[in-house]
Structures are given as structure tokens and as C-alpha cells.
Amino acid sequence: MTKTIALLGSTGSIGRQTLEVARELGLTVAALTAHTNIDLLEQQARQFRPRLAAVYDPDAARVLRERLSDMDIQVLAGEEGLLTAATAEEADTLVTAVMGSVGLAPTLAAIRQGKRIALANKETLVCAGELVMAAAAEYGAEIIPVDSEHSAVFQCLQGCRDRGEVRRILLTCSGGPFYGKTSAELERMTAADALHHPNWRMGAKITVDSATLMNKGLEVIEAMRLYALPVEKIQPVIHRQSIVHSLVEFRDGAVLAQLGTPDMKLPIRYAMTYPYRAESPDAPLDLLRCGPLTFAAPDEDAFPCLRLARQCGKTGGTSCTILNGANEAAVALFLRGEIGFNDIARRVEDALCRVEVKYTPSLEDILEADRLARAAVLNR
């Protein structure tokens, strides 16, 4: 069970909720990091009093250092700051809640120290899953997923000693704000439309990913890495109510599911307390009031990002890195109003055609594939 955490991405949605859980569980916070939001980071630092705070932006770090000059908190900047935070000696658990490939190197560094990794950063496994899982096995580091779907699968697999017993994993998906719309209708959707998720409160990028179903595609790849299963055994299922967070079907026909309210604090708390469970102050799921639970197949014609992700899962190598980097760049353009909603998938597919895939890649190959994918989207 976790006693002290280092938290990468403390000012984002997952980061804020992680600190709520840390307060409820009485955990010590050794390090906090943020990209640029120093106003909130300052508040968090004063409340949780970490030894270290890091800001990715050097100018923002200088301002924060001045603001916290009355406290015994070391303030660092850039990638070096993230690495130092991730490897804080007193932290037994690293919570990786930053967005994008920036979390990869710090996570690998913490794994090499044998820390528990509470992983909320999809890109770490999508881009470098083979490297990460191999390092975790070598250094004895636990990787506990924080994504609600993968936490659900992780819980359903407790007691399963042989992955050969798993017939398939069913990853549930709300369908996002555009469920049921045709490709023609999606051409007219704006960023404001995409940011109205029906069930979850999340950051802008992941909310758009939920609208395109790229989020579910990335989770398919993530599940391949976490559970050492082929992509054919991982099936996304639309579940509009977001009550069943995922299911595991076994070869004897049994299906186990994890249910709960759509609240990220539940998987965060479990990642902190595993293999135990702690009392939650939040209201539990009431099955008598949650209404009917429905399931449907996703429309991969209207939402091609899911199809692209499954193809990359089969291809392997740096194709998943190219997919992820291109998607991040395309979503950023969409949020700025520079491209349309359907253009996200078009730009990603174009990058997959233009950037060469390398097999059995090194970390340097992965980072270069990410750079080339982003450039392909921006220079189209």
C-alpha cells in the first residue's frame, strides 16, 4: 500500500483528484509537477508541502520559485525537473498523470528504481509499451492502471493466474457526445460541441479523444501491453451509462465486470491501496436507481480513429507512437479551430502513411517517431 507519492501533472483533472484521494488516505506528497499552471501548483504546494515542485515551462518555474521563497520547497524546471520529481527517493509510488509522451522518460526512470507506478498516462504504454513492461519485469516495479477501464480489467483479473484463460476483454466506452451521428453530420461538429462529454469531467484533449473514439483506440493498445494479449482479444463496446467500466470474459463462459459510479477517484484510490481497499467517503453506486444498462457495437465507419488504432496494434513497432503523436497534433489544431472534426482522423491516417515504421525500436527511435508524426500533421 502506498505511503508517499510523487505526482506528475498535479494541476490536471486526474492530478487534482489524486490529491483529494491523498488527503482522504493521509498520504505524504513528496513531489508535484505541472506544465504551466503555477497558480494552482502554488496552492497545492502550500497545502501538501512537498519537498520538490517542478514546472515544465522554465519561465513559469522562475515565477513559482519566487512565490514559494518563504517555504522549504525546491523548485525545478523542464524535463530534468520531471525526472527529479519522478525519482524522489522518499516516494514509493509515482502517479503519472501528465498528458503526452513527456511522461515516458520519467516513468521509465521511476520503474528502474522499483517504484509502484499508478499509470494514468496512456501514451507511456501506447508509445513504448514493450520497453516499459520489460523494464517493470526487470526491476520488479508494479504498474497499476488508473484509467477507469483498465482499472476495471485489472480488478477482474485478480485471481487469474493464466492469461490463456481469458477469451476476451470488453472495454466499455460511453460513445462520447457524438454517439449515433453519421460521418456527414460529424463534419459540422465544432470544438465546443466535442467538449460536452455526457458522463465524465475531463481535460480538453482527452474529451476530444472520447468524441473521436481515439481514446478507446489508445486503450485497446494499452490493454495489449498491460495484459499481454493480442488485439483480436480486446473488444470495445459502447455503454452509454458509464456504470460498467469494463468486463473480462473467460474461456469457460464466465464474464466478470466491475461496476461503479463514473468517478475517477475510485480507480485512483484502488491504485494507492492495492492489494487492499480503503473506505470511500463518496456515495456508492445504487443499482436500483441507475436505470437500464445498455451495450452496442461502435461505428468504425463514422469514427475511423478506432479502426486506425486497431491496425497499429496489429502492425506494432513505432506505428502506435506515430498514431499517438499525430493525434495529439491534430487534436491541438482542432481545438484551435484550424481543422474540422473529421480532419483529425484524416491527418492521423496521412501521418501513418508518410512516417516510416521501425520495429523493435529503442527509446530514441520512439521519440523520433513522435517528432516526425507531429511534423507530418503540421506540414501537411
CA distance 44 to 27: 14
- pLDDT digit string (tens) for 247-257? 999 999 999 99
Q: Are 284 and 273 found together in one domain?
A: yes
Exposure string over 287-322, b if 16+ CB within 10 A, otherwise e: eeeeeeeeeeebbeebbbbbbbbbbbbebbbbbbbb
| Domain boundaries, position 237 | 151-315
* CATH number for position 53: 3.40.50.720
The count of domains in the chain is 3
Q: Which residues of the chain have pLDDT under 50?
A: none
Q: Kindly report, residue by residue over 100-143, the tens digit of the pLDDT.
A: 778 899 999 999 999 999 999 888 999 999 999 999 999 999 99
Residue whose C-alpha is closest to residue 295's, from 167, 175, 198: 175
Let me know: does 204 contact 194? Beta carbons within 8 Å. no
In this structure, the answer to whether residues 140 and 164 fall within a common structural domain is no
What pLDDT does 10 receive?
97
Mark which of 315, 338, 368 sits at the end of a domain: 315
**How many C-beta atoms lie closer than 10 Å to residue 353's C-beta?**
9
| 156 and 295 housed in the same domain | yes
pLDDT of residue 200: 60
Give yes or no for a contact between 235 and 325, defined as CB atoms under 8 angstroms apart: no
Same domain, yes or no: 194 and 274? yes
pLDDT at 247: 98
